[in-house]
Chain A
Amino acid sequence: MAERSGMVEKRGAGHWFTHLGLIVGVLIIFFPIWLAFVASTVTQPEIVKPPMPLWPGGHFFENYRSALVSGINAPVARMLGNSLVMALGIALGKIAISLLSAFAIVYFRFPGRRLFFWLIFLTLMLPVEVRIVPTYEVVAGFGMLNSYSGLIFPLIASATATFLFRQFFMTVPDELAEAARVDGARPMRFFLDILLPMSRTNIAALFVILFIYGWNQYLWPLLITTDPQMNTIVMGIKQMFPSGDDVADWPVIMATSILAMVPPIVVVISMQNLFIRGLVDSEK
């Protein structure tokens, strides 16, 4: 007992010091977000007049309602919806496709298996930005400009996720697949009943990463959505900036920025719980 409390005391000073460091760090990183929040709760003249306000004003509901309902080019609610469809489509689509391709590569012996694996792997070197012109041509040719499919499909293939699932599937003991075969499970049944539930922690982790990847897409939506009704929120914020001599409606722009941050935060926090539960539950 004595020894234990001694240990705690010894740890005490360093403990507080670490926390102090962390708190200062958090404050520094959090400060711009705080400023954005403050700016979204005051009026335009208050922002423009120095010094900048540091405490929230009384126009929270007014500014957010105006952003959500009318926005500047398009209602923010509409842009949030577009972003949500795109991020979910990309995340779920990437996961579905990479699970299936990893399943094929690990569990089936077909001619050209290695070739296909390396082809998938090679696409890691071709991110959207590199292939953007031909991709645009193709999407335009299919008439998918200003559509959800145009936003989602070109971004859906994922070598990284395929590779991750391949590595995971290779750690699953062969006997499990054999036991399922003896039990009468055809390959897709084995995939759905056994492999998929066993991968759920990996899927949760990837979903978080890919959702944020999809949510934060900027260049691609900017290129293929010309109709403001199809704008996504991340590019929409930039579109709100005034061109020429127009006056920027900063409170609404800031409200939009804050709103754009909410869904990723919700996803991270809610999936984090699932992810950690998955880790604790993890079975070998």
Chain B
Amino acid sequence: MATLKLRNVKKRFGSTDVIHGVDLDVADGEFIVIVGPSGCGKSTLLRMVAGLETVSGGEISIDGKPVNDLEPMDRDIAMVFQNYALYPHMSVYDNISYGLKIAKTPKEEIAARVATAAKMLQLEPYLQRKPRELSGGQRQRVAMGRAIVRKPAVFLFDEPLSNLDAKLRVQMRLEIKALQKELGITSLYVTHDQVEAMTLADRMVVMHGGVADQIGAPLDVYANPATSFVAGFIGSPATNFLPPAALNAPRDGASTVGVRPEHTRLVHSGEGQTQGIVTFSEALGAETLVHLSLPSGAAFTVRQDGALPCPHSGEHCGVDWDQSREILFDADERRIRQGRARAAACP
């Protein structure tokens, strides 16, 4: 149980700046997901919290205590690695209990804690096996077990599900969420999968090029992206971006207009906000994704109900949406607060 605070945390490898100053306040028991494209510095940030990477600038504190100069073992954290990092020559029991053994926990207590964890993770039948005799999902659970028996102040996860197949990933995602709620341990979880981020997070941090572009509750981030990067990264299929010139009416001050595919609909040619030619359609059953090419050459995606008629390639269509659904960005790709913009426009 603990809070976690990052104050202007920076990381430099030699002469390259990788993290440009991240601020984050994590409340006790909160589940924070750090999401972003490959190479944006998610793992680096997490490893700095773990103490596996030195901090080049700023301060990290756990429960109000600065931990910049502490070894990982003295920070009261536990980490789950992407490739699990189980000790190959030790049985599942020994893997889970290794940290406790080093901490000189009494034998009976180790046995009791491992038993509880094994029960929680359905690992009881496998305690005497070696990691190589387990499936991917089971190994993942052992890695989780190793983290939870220590009863750490903070859990750290670095893409723990990326080595699993899609179905197992969904299942383990639910299990991790349930486990974290049950234990109430403050958690930091790194992923590049936005579905994982949306479903797991109490709040998420969207990282982009070593900067936290936005920190907020998943639905809030989805509804009110702070930058065009966030708008494009969160939500699938990705947000469509258009220059205001491509629209029927100008938008004051905006250099880019974003519209989510789910907020658009096809209309007859000549009607709606903009025009396009259907390039192809993906019928997914419940929904259909219609990809269009705009006169400017830009691509545009419309997401419509699977029951609606599916247009043919080459068809000319209009696309319409509610102007209130638009997300406007300025030349710096920052969000223009439409509330204010609209208030100024309407007397």
Instruction: Name A's B-contacting residues (CB within 8 A).
Output: 173, 175-176, 178-185, 189, 193-194, 197-198, 283-284
Contact = CB atoms under 8 A, between A and B. Distances in A.
Top 9 nearest A-B pairs by Cβ distance? Answer: A184-B73, A175-B85, A183-B99, A179-B85, A283-B88, A184-B102, A197-B89, A182-B72, A283-B132
Given A183-B146, A184-B103, A185-B102, A176 B73 contact: no
B83 A193 contact: no
Nearest to B81: A175
B89 A181 contact: no
A182 B79 contact: yes
A184 B98 CA distance: 9
25 contacts: A173-B85, A175-B83, A175-B85, A176-B85, A178-B50, A178-B52, A178-B72, A178-B81, A179-B79, A179-B86, A180-B87, A181-B71, A182-B50, A183-B73, A183-B102, A184-B102, A184-B103, A185-B73, A185-B98, A193-B87, A193-B98, A197-B89, A198-B89, A283-B130, A283-B131
Contacts of B130: 283
B78 interface: yes
Given A179-B79, A179-B81, 17 more contacts: A175-B82, A175-B85, A176-B87, A178-B85, A179-B87, A180-B87, A181-B51, A182-B50, A182-B72, A182-B99, A183-B98, A184-B103, A185-B102, A193-B98, A283-B88, A284-B88, A284-B132
Nearest to A200: B89
B259 interface: no
Interface in B54-89: 71-73, 77-79, 81-83, 85-89
Contacts of A198: 88-89
Contact of A182 (B78, B83, B103, B131): B78
Contacts of A176: 85, 87
A194 B71 CA distance: 19
Contacts of A183: 73, 98-99, 102, 146, 150
B263 to A, nearest CB: 43
A138 to B, nearest CB: 40
Residue from A176, A180, A181, A184 having most chain B Cβ neighbours under 10 A: A184
Contacts of B102: 183-185, 189
Contacts of A178: 50, 52, 72, 79, 81, 85
Contacts of A283: 88-89, 130-132
A194 B87 contact: yes
B119 to A, nearest CB: 21
Nearest to B143: A179
Interface of B: 50-52, 71-73, 77-79, 81-83, 85-90, 98-99, 102-103, 130-132, 146, 150
B132 A181 contact: no
A189 B101 CA distance: 11
Nearest to A178: B52
Contacts of B83: 173, 175
A173 B84 CA distance: 11
B46 to A, nearest CB: 12
Contacts of B132: 283-284
Nearest to B82: A175
A197 B83 CA distance: 20
Nearest to B99: A183
Contacts of B86: 179
Contacts of A180: 87, 98
B143 to A, nearest CB: 9
Given A179-B79, A283-B131, A284-B132, A184 B99 contact: yes
B146 to A, nearest CB: 7
Nearest to A172: B88
B55 to A, nearest CB: 16
A184 B73 CA distance: 4
A183 B145 CA distance: 12
Contacts of B82: 175
A75 B132 CA distance: 52
Contacts of B89: 194, 197-198, 283
Contacts of B99: 182-184
A176 B52 CA distance: 12
B166 to A, nearest CB: 24
Contact of A181 (B52, B88, B90, B103): B52
Nearest to B97: A183
A184 B78 CA distance: 10
Contacts of B81: 175, 178-179
A178 B146 CA distance: 14
A179 B98 CA distance: 10
Contacts of A284: 88, 132
Contacts of B131: 283
A231 B309 CA distance: 98
Contacts of B88: 198, 283-284
Contacts of B85: 173, 175-176, 178-179
A5 B83 CA distance: 45
A192 B246 CA distance: 67
A185 to B, nearest CB: 6
Contacts of B87: 176, 179-180, 193-194
Contacts of A181: 51-52, 71-73
B62 to A, nearest CB: 14
B71, B98, B131: most-surrounded residue (chain A CB, <10 A): B98
A174 B121 CA distance: 26
A166 B19 CA distance: 33
A97 B108 CA distance: 37
A194 B94 CA distance: 12
A284 B85 CA distance: 11
Nearest to A185: B102
Contacts of A184: 73, 99, 102-103
